[in-house]
Amino acid sequence: MEKDSFCPVPSPGDGGAAEKLSGACVLITGGTGSFGGAFLRRCLALPVGEVRVFSRDERKQYSLARRYEGEGRLRLILGDVRDAGAVDRAMAGVDYVFHAAAMKQIPACEAYPLEAVKTNVLGSAHVLESALRRRVKKVVCLSTDKACYPTSAMGATKSLMEKEALRAGERGGETVVNVTRFGNLVASRGSVVPLFREQLERRGEITVTDPEMTRFLMTVEEAVELVLRALILGGPGELFVAKAKAAAVGELARAVMACLGVSGTIRVTGARAGEKRHETLLLAEEAAAAQDCGGFFRVAVPAIPASEPGKPYRSCDGARFTLRELTELIRAALARPAEWDE
């Protein structure tokens, strides 16, 4: 793995994003999710010309309209990435696209794998094709560690999305396409932290599939930073992978108890279909070609052939959160205002 000590790492105070987005029209697909809400706030703090939020959730769009009442730069567009026409209409006049729309829940994707294909693969193709046709300046696609050595329908469809995006990046012409990949966002909607809290409050018990399973954890703000780094630094067809600490699921359950100041039992239920015991953020083949940029890896695609693999970046091998660090991380995440009025 090549060490690049000169790779710049923009901080929240850097002007690179402001310079890129000044007066620009930005499209966020899936913009009513946890990442979308945080990224929207960040965009509106910059001198953007317009931010379009494209999603199929009318309830959350209504909440957004109330929250940002009077914000003239915000445009809400109800639509689904499965609808190529709706995507293309939303794309008209756009400078930068941040593609976050996806089916992300493993059980739902396992139960309805073709639905995951329709959103994560075909829907992503609609976004990429429209962006290239309309000569958008850059597309940044969001992916997940589940896409590495996938065992689930969700991971497999996100892996295909990555391949679509990176191949589009190679032929993009005027449009630069990048992919960002990261682990679990702490306390995001649908993640285990809100679930554990609800279980404790309802019955004083947390259920875990396997207490020794490990997962990468990061904040939504760290995810936003990675996407902005891709925006500023990314060349055609490059992949940006966040570094992250990991935690065992059993330790995460104990941290939630400590954070809430309650005691409870932990019941082991066994792994669900499609789940892996440990996750990978960087493939061995990618690691061989990756630049270590401090807080993230930067990979030019195609990577070095598999005959000379590097060391994969796995949740069971790297740095772990201590119980105290986990508790502080969860407490800070839960203290933030909810993204949406429920």
Catalytic residue positions, numbered: 146
SS3 178: strand
Distance CA 339, CA 342 (A): 9
Which single residue is written with the structure tokens 């207490």? 211
Q: Do the strands 246-248 and 2-3 form a parallel or antiparallel pair, or are they unpaired?
A: unpaired
Partners of 69 in the beta sheet? Answer: none
Distance CA 231, CA 177 (A): 9
At 12, list the tokens. Answer: 């929240």
Calculate the dihedral angle through the C-alpha atoms of 23, 25, 26, 27, rounding to the nearest 10 degrees. 170
The residues, any chain, with a CB within 8 Å of residue 101's CB and separated by 6 or more, are 29, 30, 54, 55, 81, 119, 123, 127
Distance CA 70, CA 66 (A): 9
- Look at residues 255, 232, 29, 230 and name the one whose alpha carbon lies nearest to residue 125: 29
The answer to whether 321 and 245 have CB atoms below 8 angstroms apart is yes
**How many beta carbons lie within 10 A of that of residue 245, not counting itself?**
17
- Look at residues 330, 136, 161, 151 and name the one whose alpha carbon lies nearest to residue 231: 136
CA distances from 119 to 50, 55, 105, 210 (A): 25, 12, 12, 29
Distance CA 318, CA 295 (A): 14
251 alpha-carbon distance from chain centroid: 23
The answer to whether 186 and 329 have CB atoms below 8 angstroms apart is yes
Helix, strand, coil % over all residues of the chain, rounded to 5: 40, 20, 40
